[in-house]
Amino acid sequence: MRITSASVKQTKEIARGLAKYLTAGDVVALIGTVGSGKTIFVKGLASGLSCRRQKVTSPTFILMRQYRGRHEVYHFDLYRLKDIHQLEQIGYEEYFYGDGITVIEWADRIKKALPRQYLRIEFKIKDDRTRLLKFIPKGRHYADNLRKFQGKKDTVPQKYPSHSK
Ligand SMILES: Nc1ncnc2c1ncn2[C@@H]1O[C@H](COP(=O)(O)OP(=O)(O)OP(=O)(O)O)[C@@H](O)[C@H]1O
Ligand SMILES: [Mg+2]
């Protein structure tokens, strides 16, 4: 599934819409170059889950920030990840396989550490205001929920040029 976003606001709305279809333990992997909208998307997702930013309490914040809302959200940003050991040190598996929702920027840097099933979202810069978002479900759980998200018209208002699969 592909959705074109024509503004920051739309990217947040799309993420807020998707948030309704995330369930406990879900993992969302965000892939895309610098400035393609991954963090903006996470903000929308967190807002869709009624999250508030937690106080930073430990050095893990460099790689992971935790928010609490309808679910706990573990927001990983792996841009500065040196190697997988750094992730192991913060016990990433407890998060990836925990009951919260894990969302990972630069997830392509840890391909081997990703769970077998997850929702992959690829971000492409079309022009200064336009981003192309490609949703790729890995596994049935994500395919099912993505279909529900896609089928729900209010999540992707008509004004978004929405492409077919
Ligand atoms: N349609 C859009 N959706 C999201 N961001 C947009 C859009 N159009 C323009 N932008 C701009 O693109 C930038 C996206 O920034 P953001 O921090 O989300 O990128 P990122 O993918 O997280 O980058 P990084 O890899 O550096 O973390 C912002 O400056 C934002 O204003
Ligand atoms: Mg970012």
Ligand 1, atom 3: closest residue by C-alpha:
8
Whether 164 maps to a domain, the answer reads no
The residue type at 67: Y
Q: What angle do CA 63, 112, 97 make, to 5 degrees?
A: 65
The residue type at 121: I
Domain that holds residue 124: 2-155
Q: What is the pLDDT of residue 62?
A: 80
User: Which is the closest atom of ligand 1 to the Cα of 129?
Assistant: 8
Report the CATH number that the domain containing residue 18 is assigned in CATH. 3.40.50.300
CB 13 less than 6 A from any atom of ligand 1: no
Whether 64 maps to a domain, the answer reads yes
Q: What is the pLDDT of residue 158?
A: 47
Whether 165 maps to a domain, the answer reads no
Whether 161 maps to a domain, the answer reads no
The pLDDT > 70 percentage for the chain reads 87
161 or 70, which is more confident: 70
Q: What is the pLDDT of residues 2-31, one digit of tens each?
A: 999 999 999 999 999 999 999 999 999 999
Whether 42 maps to a domain, the answer reads yes
Q: What is the pLDDT of residue 55?
A: 57
Of 66-80, 123-137, 149-163, give the range with the top mean pLDDT.
123-137
Split into its structural domains, the chain has a count of: 1
Query: Quick one: which ligand is closest to 32's CA?
Result: 1
Whether 18 maps to a domain, the answer reads yes
**Is pLDDT above 50 for 126?**
yes
**Is pLDDT above 90 for 143?**
yes
The structure's pTM equals 0.90
Whether 163 maps to a domain, the answer reads no
**E strands, the chain, in order:** 2-5, 27-32, 52-53, 64-68, 72-77, 101-105, 118-125, 131-138
Whether 139 maps to a domain, the answer reads yes
Query: Quick one: which ligand is closest to 43's CA?
Result: 1
Ligand 1, atom 31: closest residue by C-alpha:
8
CB 97 less than 6 A from any atom of ligand 1: no
Q: Is the distance from CB of 136 to CB of 146 less than 8 angstroms? A: no
Ligand 1, atom 17: closest residue by C-alpha:
39
